[in-house]
Structure 1
Amino acid sequence: MAKSSADDEELRRACEAAIEAGGSKQKIVLSIRVAKSRGMWGKSGRLGRNMAKPRVLALSTKSKGQSTKAFLRVLKYSTGGVLESAKLYKLKHLSKVEVIANDPTGCTFMLGFDNLRNQSVAPPQWTMRNIDDRNRLLLCILNICKEIMGRLPKVVGIDVVEMALWAKENTPVVANQTNPHDGPVVSTVTENDLKVTVEKDLVSQAEEEDMEALLGTYVMGIGEAEAFSERLKRELLALEAANVHAILESEPLVEEVLQGLESATICVDDMDEWLGIFNVKLRHMREDIESIETRNNKLEMQSVNNKALIEELDKLLERLRVPSEYAASLTGGSFDEARMLQNIEACEWLTGALRALEVPNLDPCFANMRAVKDKRMELEKLKTTFVRRASEFLRSYFASLVDFMISEKSYFSQRGQLKRPDHADLRYKCRTYARLLQHLKSLDKNCLGPLRKAYCSSLNLLLRREAREFANELRAGTKASRNPTVWLEASTGSSQTVNNADTSTVSEAYAKMLTIFIPLLVDESSFFAHFMCFEVPALVPPGGPLNGNKNGSNDDDTNDDDLGIMDIDENDSKAGKSSEELGTLNESLQDLLDGIQEDFYAVVDWAYKIDPLRCISMHGITERYLSGQKADAAGFVRLLLDDLESRISMQFSRFVDEACHRIERNERNVRQMGVLSYIPRFATLATRMEQYIQGQSRDLVDQAYTKFVSIMFVTLEKIAQTDPKYADILLLENYAAFQNSLYDLANVVPILAKFYHQASESYEQACTRHISMIIYYQFERLFQFAKKIEDLMYTITPEEIPFQLGLSKTDLRKMLKSSLSGVDKSITAMYRKLQKNLTSEELLPSLWDKCKKEFLDKYESFAQQVARIYPNETIQSVAEMKDLLASL
C-alpha cells in the first residue's frame, strides 16, 4: 500500500509554516491531501469552476486556559507552489459528515457546518486517494469532536462498525525519538495515544468472556430448578398421605361426639314442649281474672255516671240561655269608640258560649242532643254576622286613617327640613280595636287574612311615601364633593397629592337613614305582629336598643307595642304555634314593607358616586344594625339589611375591580424604571380605607387588600419580565418602596403584615440575584475555577484535583493573577455597576453591604478550597480581603 500523505512530514511542516505565517499559534494534528469539487450541485459557469482542485486539509487545535478549540483548515497552492491558508472552519459548528453515494469508490464526502451564511450554495466535496485516507481523516475528526466538544456530528453513508474494525486493523505504530545521553530510544504510540479510533465504544474481549460465563451459569441454574421442583412435588404427596391417615384415625372420636349431641337435642325438645303447655294454662288464668275485674268496674261506673248526668243536665239548661243585651250588640250595634266596651263584652260572652258547647268543655253525650244542636246553630249565625260587620268596618277604617295622613304634607319631610316619621297617633287609634281583633281571631281565624292584607296595603303606601321624601331631602341637604377620587390610576404620578376631601357627611347621611327607618320598620313589624294577633314572640324586647329614643323610636311611649291583650288567653302564645305562624308573618311583612328598599338603594348608589370608599363605612354601619336583629323575627327588616349589605359589597367590589384594572394597565407601558406609581398610591389608599372601617367590615377591606396586592405583585413581575436586564433592579426597588410605604400600617393590620413579609422575601430574592450577577461579572474566572473544584470533589479525592486538566497549580496561579491583581479596581467597578442603574439612592448602602458580605462569603469558601487542595499555594487572606472591602 502506498504511503499516505498524512504521514508526510514535509507536508506537515509546510502546513505549520502556512499557519504560523497567518499569526495563529495552533498545533497541527493531521494534514492530508485532497481534491475539491462542487459536484452536480455547483453553479453552472466556466469549466474550471467544476473541475477538481488540489487542496490540503489540516486539523489543528489551540489551547486557551482550560479550554481547547479545534479547527479545520483548507490550504491551497499558490502560483509558486507554496501552501497558503484558503478557509478556516471551527469544528464546534460541524453538524454532518456525509459520504457521497454517487461515488462508487466511497472516497468522496462532504462536511456540513451549521453557521455558513449562504446555505443555498452546496458545500464542497472532498475526494481522497483511497478508502484508508478517507477513514483516517474522518476518524480523526470524529474523535476530536467527541473528546473536545463532547458530541458527535451526524454521520451519513458510513457504517460505524466497519470503521471501528478498520481502526483496529490499522492501528499505526509511531516511533517517538528521544535523545537521552545513552542514545535514541524508540517508543510505540498506540491508537489511543493518537486519539483516532472509536474502538473503546465497542465490547472488549474480556467483557465477551464474562458474558459467556454468565450465560453458562444461567443454563446450569435452570437444571437445578427443575430438580428442586421434582423434590418439592414428592414431599407434597407424602404430606397429603400423612394428613389422610390422621383423619381416618380420628373417626371413632367424631362418632362419639355426634351421639352426645343427638341425645342433648332430644332433651331440649322435650323441655320446650312442657314449657309451651304451662304457658297456655297461665294465659287462660290471666284472661279469667281480667274478665271478672271488668264486670265489677262497669257496675260501679254506671252508678256514678247516673248521678253526674242529672247534675250536667241542670247546668246545660243554664248554658243554653242567650242574654238579650249581648244579642243586640252582636247583630246591630255600633263600632264607635264609646261602644267598644259593650262590643268586647258581647264577644267575650259569645266566645265563651261557643267554647262551652264544644266537646272538650261539653260532655260528648250532650253534643248530639237536639236542643244543643239548635243552640249551636243560633250562636254560629251570631258569630258570622258579627265577624262580617266588624271586618267591613276595620277595612274601611284602616284606609281612612292612611288617606288622611297622606293628604297632610306636614307628616313628611319638606324642602330644607327632615321630618322624622311619627306613627304615634296612628297606633293609638289602631290600639282601640286591638282587643276586637283578638276576639275576631278566636271567633274565626280565617277573617284575619283579608284584614291583614288591607292593613298592609294601606300602611305600605304611607311608609314608602315617608321613605321616599326623607331620602330625597336627605340627599339634597347633604353637602359633599361630587368629584370622585381616582385611585391607582396608571397615568397619575406617585408624587401627585390625592384629593382628601371630607366625605364623612355621605356615610352620616346613610347612617341617619338607617337610624330613622330601621327602628321604625322594626317597630311597625312588631306592632303589626301583635296588633294582627300573630302568635310569635315579641320582636323587640322591652327596653331594647331599637325602642329607645336614641335610635329613633317615638317619644310618646317606649313600650308602644304592649297592646295589653296578652291576658285574653295565655294558651294562645305557646312555642309550637309560634313557629307555625312565623312563615305567615313574614309573608305579611313582605306586603307591608315591600318597595321601601328602593329608597335605601338610592342612598347607597348616591354615596358610592360621591366617594366609593364610603362603602366601607356603610358596610360597617349595616353590619352593626344587622347584628342587632333577631334571626327569627322582623324577617323583612333582616332581609333588607342583608340586601343593603350585598349591594354595598357589590359596589365596593366594582370599585376594587376598576382600581385593579388601572393597575394592570401599567404593564402595557413600554420601558418603566424606578418605583411604579401605584405602589405609594396604594399606601395612601390603604390608610384612607383603615380610617373608614367601622364595626365588622374588616373582612371586606381585607379581601380588597388581597385582590389589590395580588394584582400589584403580578403586574410588577410582568413589567419586570419585559426587560430581563433590569428586571431585578425594578423588582427590588418596588418591593422596597412597598415595605417603606406600608411599614406603619403593617404593624397594626395583620393582612398587610402578611403582604409586607411577602414583599420582604421577594425583595431579598431580587437582591440576591442582582448581587450575584454583579459579583460574577467582575470575578467570573475566580468563581468558575472554584465551581469546577467543587464539582470534582464529589467524584475524586482532593489530592487528585491539581492533576486535572485546567486545575493545576500553574492554572491556579494564572487565574489568581488575572482575577486578583488590581482587586481594588474590580471592587470599585462592582460598586459602580451596582450604582449605575439604581434610581433609589437610599437603597445603595444596604445593597452594597449585602454585596460585600456575599463576595466575602464566596471568597472565604474559595480560600478554604485552595488551602485544602493546594496547601503550598498562598493567596490573599480573607482578613486582607475584608480590610480591603472595609476601606472602599
Structure 2
Amino acid sequence: MAKSSADDEELRRACEAAIEGTKEKIVMSIRVAKSRGIWGKSGKLGRSHMAKPRVLAISTKSKGQGTKAFLRVLKYSTGGVVEATKLYKLKHLSKVDVLTNDPSGCTFLLGFDNLRSQSVAPPQWTMRNVDDRNRLLLFILNISKNVLGRLPKVVGIDVVEMALWAKENTPTITKQRGDLQDGPVAASVAEVDTKVTVERELVSQAEEEDMEALLGTYVMGIGEAEAFSERLKRELQALEAANVHAILESEPLIDEVLQGLESASNCVEDMDEWLGIFNLKLRHMREDIESIEVRNNKLEMQSVNNKSLIEELDKLLERLCIPSEYATSLTGGSFDEARMLQNIEACEWLTNALRSLEGPNLDRGYANMRAVREKRAELNKLKTTFVKRASEFLRNYFASLVDFMISDKSYFSQRGQLKRPDHADLRYKCRTYARLLQHLKSLDKNCLGQLRKAYCSSLNLLLRREAREFANELRASTKASRNPTVWLEGSTGSNQSVNSADTSTVSEAYAKMLTIFIPLLVDESSFFAHFMCFEVPALVPPGNLANGSKTGPNDDDNDDDLGILDIDDNDSKSGKRSADLEALNESLRDLLDGIQEDFYAVVDWAYKIDPLRCISMHGITERYISGQKADAAGFVRILLDDLESRISMQFTRFVEEACHQIERNERNVRQVGILSYIPRFATLATRMEQYIQGQSRDLVDQAYTKFVTVMFATLDKVAQTDQRYTDIMLLENYAAFQNSLYDLANVVSILAKFYHQASESYEQACTRFISTIIYSQFDRLFQFSHRIEDLMFTITPEEIPFQLGLSKMDLRKVVKSSLSGVDKSINAMYKRLQKNLTSEELLPSLWDKLKKEFLDKYDSFAQLVAKIYPNESIPSVSEMRDLLASM
C-alpha cells in the first residue's frame, strides 16, 4: 500500500508554518481534493466542477483546563506554499455524510450547524483511497468524542465496518510528532508507544464479543430470515410461559408478605396516634416555657434598669455635692499669696460644676429636676459671691501697688540721675493673680471691665509720673547752645558763620527718650493684654526695640508669658478677637493717655534749640514706627504717628519762617550783586543733609522745593525793581546758586533738578544781556539786516535793493557808520560788560559768549549782503574774527 500523506512530515511542518502565531498545534494533516459538483451514474466528476487540491488539518489549542479542536482548510499558493484559507470549529460539526453515489466511497461531506448560508452546497472532499478516508474520519470521531464528549451523526458508512477496518489497520496509524501535551485527546495516544489505537474508542470489548457471537450465529446456521424470525418468536413465548408458572408457584410467599405488611400498617397507625398525643403535650410545655421566659426577661430588664438608675443618681448626687473646703474658699477665704492655690482649685471646681449642670453635659431630662434647679441656683450664688470678693480685692491691690511705688522717690529720675523705669517687681506681683483673672473671666466676663479700668487708672498715674520726671531730667542734663532760627535773613552777611554749634545732643536726648519709653510702653501693652485675658493675635516679644536691642540687662526677667493656658480654647475665636481687639485699644488708651505730653515737650524743647534737629528726630521716629506691628501696641503706634506729625509741623513752621525771611528781601532798598540767601541756602542744605536719617528724605525734599521756589520767585521780583539791571541780577544770582550747590546736586536728585532749572534761567539771562550790549553799539547795522530778512518773505532778492531805505547807497552809509572804527565799538562793549558785572569771575565766560554771538550775527549779515548786493564789499567774517581775537 502506498504511503499516506498523513505521515508526511514536510506537509505537517508546512501547515504549522501557515498557522504560526495562533498558538495552535497540528495533530494531523492530509491531502484532499475539493469540489462542489455531483457524481453521475457513471461515477465521473462533472466538467463544470473540477476538483482543486487542498490540505485538511486537525489542530488543537489549550485554554485553561480544556482543549479546543479546529478543522483548517489550506490551499497551495503560487510557488507551492501552503496558506490557511478557512477555519471550522469541531464543536459545531453535526454530520459526516459519505456520498453513496460515489462508487469508490472516497467522497464525503462535513456538515456544520453554524454555517450562515445553508443554501450553498457544502464542499465535497475526495480522498485518494478508502484507507485515507477511514483514517481521517476515525481521527475526527476520536477527537469529537474525547474533546467534545459527543459524536456527530454518521451517514452512508457502517460503524461496525469502520471498527473492523481500524482493528486491521491499527499498526499503520502512527503517532504524529505534534501530539498534544494536555487535555482529553492525550488519553487516546500512547505516551511510550508511537502507535495509535482507535478501535477501543468506538466499540468496547464486551460489545465486540456480542457482535462476533451474533455474526457467528448468523453465518453458521440460519439460511432464511423468516425461519430465523419464527424461531425467535417461539423462544419468546416459551420464556413468557416459564415466567407465568414461576409467578403462580410463589403465591404462599406473597400471602405471607401481605400479612406482614398489614401488621406493620397497624403498628404505624398506633405510632401515629402516640406521636399526636406527645406533640400536644410538647406544645403546651413550649407555651409554658415561653411564658416563663417572658416574665424572666422582664425581671432581668427591671433589674438592669434599677442598677443603671442607681448609678445615674449616684453620679448626679456627686455633681450636686459641694465640698466643704471649696465652699469655705469661695465664700470667705483669704486672697493672700499663700492661699491662692486653694482659691484656684476652688475656682476650677466651681467652673466644672457649673458646666456639668448645663447642656450638653447634662441630660435634658435632668435639667428640670427640682434638685438640679436648686443646686444650680446655689452654685450661681457662690459664683456671684466669689467674683464680687475677688474683684474688690484686685481693685484695691492694684491701687496699693502703684501708691507704694509713687510714694518712693527712688523709683523716678532725680536731679543729676536719669532713672530707667523698672516694672519687674510690679509684674511679678501681678502674675500671682493671673490665673485668678482667667477663672474670673470664665465665671463672669462682665467683671473684667471694672478690673481693667482699675488697673489702667492706677498704672497710668505711675507711667505719667515716670515719663514726666525722666523728660524733665533729660532736658536739664542735656547741654546744647541754642542756634538762631534766622537762617536766610538778608541782614546777615554772606560770609558770617552761623549755626556752628554742635546740637547733636538734642536729637540724642530725643532718641534716648524713645529708646527708654517706647519698649516700656509696648511691654506694658503686651503684659496688659495677656494679664487681662484679651484674646488677640501674637504680640511683640517683650523688650525688643525698633532697632532690635534690649531695654536693659534685666529684660530676660520681663517675659510676659504668664505661664497659663487658655481656659476658653474650645470657644470660637474668630468673632471674639475683633471685639476683644477693639476693647483692648480702648483700655490701652486709658492706660497710656496723657504720656504723650512729655514726648511733645521734648520735641518742642529740641526745636527751640535747633530747628534742623527735627530732621533727625523725624528719621528716628520713622524707624520706631516701622518696628511696631503688634495689635497690642496700637496706642504706641498712635503715639509715634502723633510725634511724627508734631515734628513735621515744627519743621514746617521753621521752613515757613525761613521762607518769610527770604521774601523780606524784595522789600529792601535796591539790591545789587548776589543776594545773601543764595550762598546761605547752600550752607543750610549741607547741614540738612547731615541730619537726614532713615526715611526723612521726603521731609527734606519738600523743604528744598519750598525754599527754592520762594528763592527764585523773590529773585525775579528783586530783579524787576530796576529794568536796566534785571538780566545782570538774574545771571549773577543763578550762577552763584549753581556754584554753591554743585557738589550737593551731584548726590541729591531734587537739588540736581533745581540746579538744571537755574542753569536754564542763567543761559536765558546771559542771552538777553549780551544782545542788549551788542545792539547798543551795532543797532543800526543789525536793524538793516532784520529789514532785509523780513522783506525776503514777500519779494525776491533782486527787488530788495530798489526798496526805500535798502538801496546800495543806504547799505554803504550803514556800513560806514557802524564798521568804521569797529575796534573802538568792540572795546566799548567790553568796558560796558565789565562795568555792569559785580562778579568778576563771570567776565571771561560772558566776554567769550558776547564775541561768539556778535560773530554769528555778523556772519548772517555778510551772507545777506553777498546775496542781495553781490558787487558791494564789506569787511569779511574772517577779518572780524581776527579783530575780536586780538582784543
- TM-score, normalised relative to structure 2: 0.64
Name the structure 2 match of 1:574: 573
Name the structure 2 match of 1:800: 799
Name the structure 1 match of 2:479: 479
Q: Return the letter of the residue paired with 1:541.
A: P
Name the structure 1 match of 2:702: 703
Equivalent-residue separation in structure 2 for 1:833 and 1:610 (angstroms)? 49
**How far off its partner does 1:324 sit?**
2.5
**How far off its partner does 1:384 sit?**
0.4
Name the structure 2 match of 1:630: 629
**How far off its partner does 1:314 sit?**
6.7
Distance 1:325 1:881, change over 3 A: same
Residue 412 (1) aligns with residue 408 (2):
no
Name the structure 1 match of 2:736: 737
Distance 1:818 1:633, change over 3 A: farther
Distance 1:358 1:667, change over 3 A: same
Name the structure 2 match of 1:886: 885
Equivalent-residue separation in structure 1 for 2:438 and 2:669 (angstroms)? 78
**How far off its partner does 1:581 sit?**
1.4
Name the structure 2 match of 1:617: 616
**How far off its partner does 1:700 sit?**
1.0
Equivalent-residue separation in structure 2 for 1:622 and 1:744 (angstroms)? 29
Q: Return the letter of the residue paired with 1:521.
A: L
Equivalent-residue separation in structure 2 for 1:875 and 1:546 (angstroms)? 81
Name the structure 2 match of 1:727: 726
Name the structure 1 match of 2:514: 514
Which is worse superposed, 743-752 or 368-377? 368-377
Residue 450 (1) aligns with residue 450 (2):
yes
Pairs within 5 Å for 1:807-818: 807-818=806-817
Per-residue CA distance 1:330-375 (angstroms, 9 max, x = gap)? 1121111111111111111211222222224334444333333222
**How far off its partner does 1:623 sit?**
1.1
Equivalent-residue separation in structure 2 for 1:556 and 1:777 (angstroms)? 82
Distance 1:636 1:307, change over 3 A: farther
Native 8 Å contact 2:766 2:846 kept in 1: yes
Equivalent-residue separation in structure 2 for 1:612 and 1:438 (angstroms)? 50
Equivalent-residue separation in structure 1 for 2:361 and 2:884 (angstroms)? 108
**Aligned with 2:629: secondary structure?**
coil
Per-residue CA distance 1:232-273 (angstroms, 9 max, x = gap)? xxxxxxxxxxxxxxxxxxxxxxxxxxxxxxxxxxxxxxxxxx
Equivalent-residue separation in structure 2 for 1:712 and 1:683 (angstroms)? 12
Per-residue CA distance 1:151-177 (angstroms, 9 max, x = gap)? xxxxxxxxxxxxxxxxxxxxxxxxxxx
Per-residue CA distance 1:582-626 (angstroms, 9 max, x = gap)? 221111111111111111111111111111111111111111111
Pairs within 5 Å for 1:7-156: none
Distance 1:853 1:575, change over 3 A: farther
Equivalent-residue separation in structure 2 for 1:331 and 1:554 (angstroms)? 44
Native 8 Å contact 2:547 2:627 kept in 1: no
Native 8 Å contact 2:540 2:630 kept in 1: no
Q: Report the aligned-residue RMSD.
A: 2.2
Equivalent-residue separation in structure 1 for 2:473 and 2:370 (angstroms)? 69
Per-residue CA distance 1:628-656 (angstroms, 9 max, x = gap)? 11274312111111111111111111111
Residue 355 (1) aligns with residue 326 (2):
no
**How far off its partner does 1:493 sit?**
1.1
Name the structure 1 match of 2:784: 785
Native 8 Å contact 2:625 2:640 kept in 1: yes
**How far off its partner does 1:308 sit?**
11
Residue 432 (1) aligns with residue 432 (2):
yes
Native 8 Å contact 1:485 1:498 kept in 2: no
Equivalent-residue separation in structure 1 for 2:553 and 2:458 (angstroms)? 21
**How far off its partner does 1:553 sit?**
5.1
Q: Return the letter of the residue paired with 1:705.
A: Y
Q: Return the letter of the residue paired with 2:322.
A: V
Distance 1:727 1:703, change over 3 A: same
Q: Return the letter of the residue paired with 2:526.
A: S
Equivalent-residue separation in structure 2 for 1:519 and 1:313 (angstroms)? 58
Q: Return the letter of the residue paired with 2:517.
A: F
Native 8 Å contact 1:547 1:553 kept in 2: no
Equivalent residue pairs, number: 583
**How far off its partner does 1:544 sit?**
4.1
Q: Return the letter of the residue paired with 1:651.
A: Q
Equivalent-residue separation in structure 2 for 1:827 and 1:504 (angstroms)? 57
Distance 1:393 1:543, change over 3 A: closer
Distance 1:315 1:886, change over 3 A: farther
Equivalent-residue separation in structure 2 for 1:481 and 1:664 (angstroms)? 28
**How far off its partner does 1:391 sit?**
0.4
Name the structure 1 match of 2:859: 860
Q: Return the letter of the residue paired with 2:794.
A: T
Which is worse superposed, 519-528 or 346-355? 346-355
**Aligned with 1:779: secondary structure?**
helix
Native 8 Å contact 1:782 1:819 kept in 2: yes
Distance 1:734 1:547, change over 3 A: closer
Name the structure 2 match of 1:643: 642
Pairs within 5 Å for 1:531-610: 531-541=531-541, 544-545=544-545, 550-552=549-551, 555-557=554-556, 560-571=559-570, 574-610=573-609
Equivalent-residue separation in structure 1 for 2:315 and 2:794 (angstroms)? 118
Name the structure 2 match of 1:693: 692
Equivalent-residue separation in structure 2 for 1:743 and 1:308 (angstroms)? 100
Distance 1:763 1:547, change over 3 A: closer
Equivalent-residue separation in structure 2 for 1:487 and 1:534 (angstroms)? 52
Pairs within 5 Å for 1:102-501: 315-501=315-501
Q: Return the letter of the residue paired with 1:341.
A: L
Q: Return the letter of the residue paired with 1:668.
A: R
Native 8 Å contact 1:535 1:573 kept in 2: no
Identity %: 86
Equivalent-residue separation in structure 2 for 1:321 and 1:478 (angstroms)? 69
Which is worse superposed, 522-531 or 626-635? 626-635
Native 8 Å contact 2:442 2:568 kept in 1: no
**Aligned with 1:354: secondary structure?**
helix
Name the structure 2 match of 1:23: none
Equivalent-residue separation in structure 2 for 1:700 and 1:659 (angstroms)? 15
Which is worse superposed, 579-588 or 455-464? 579-588
Distance 1:768 1:431, change over 3 A: same
Equivalent-residue separation in structure 1 for 2:713 and 2:763 (angstroms)? 17
Native 8 Å contact 2:351 2:443 kept in 1: yes
Native 8 Å contact 2:544 2:551 kept in 1: no
Distance 1:470 1:572, change over 3 A: farther
Per-residue CA distance 1:761-794 (angstroms, 9 max, x = gap)? 1111111110111111111011111111111111
Distance 1:628 1:545, change over 3 A: same
**How far off its partner does 1:841 sit?**
0.4
**How far off its partner does 1:731 sit?**
0.6
Equivalent-residue separation in structure 2 for 1:554 and 1:858 (angstroms)? 81
Per-residue CA distance 1:682-710 (angstroms, 9 max, x = gap)? 11111111111111111111111111111
**Aligned with 1:570: secondary structure?**
coil
**How far off its partner does 1:499 sit?**
3.2
**Aligned with 1:557: secondary structure?**
helix
**How far off its partner does 1:752 sit?**
0.8
Native 8 Å contact 1:520 1:553 kept in 2: no
Name the structure 2 match of 1:666: 665
**How far off its partner does 1:522 sit?**
0.7
Name the structure 1 match of 2:674: 675
**How far off its partner does 1:847 sit?**
0.8
**Aligned with 1:607: secondary structure?**
helix
**How far off its partner does 1:535 sit?**
0.9
Distance 1:687 1:572, change over 3 A: farther
Per-residue CA distance 1:732-765 (angstroms, 9 max, x = gap)? 0001001100111111111111111111111111
**Aligned with 1:481: secondary structure?**
coil
Structure 1's unaligned 5+ residue stretches are 1-304
Name the structure 2 match of 1:263: none
Native 8 Å contact 1:411 1:421 kept in 2: yes
**Aligned with 2:632: secondary structure?**
coil
**How far off its partner does 1:877 sit?**
2.2
Q: Return the letter of the residue paired with 2:492.
A: T
**Aligned with 1:634: secondary structure?**
helix
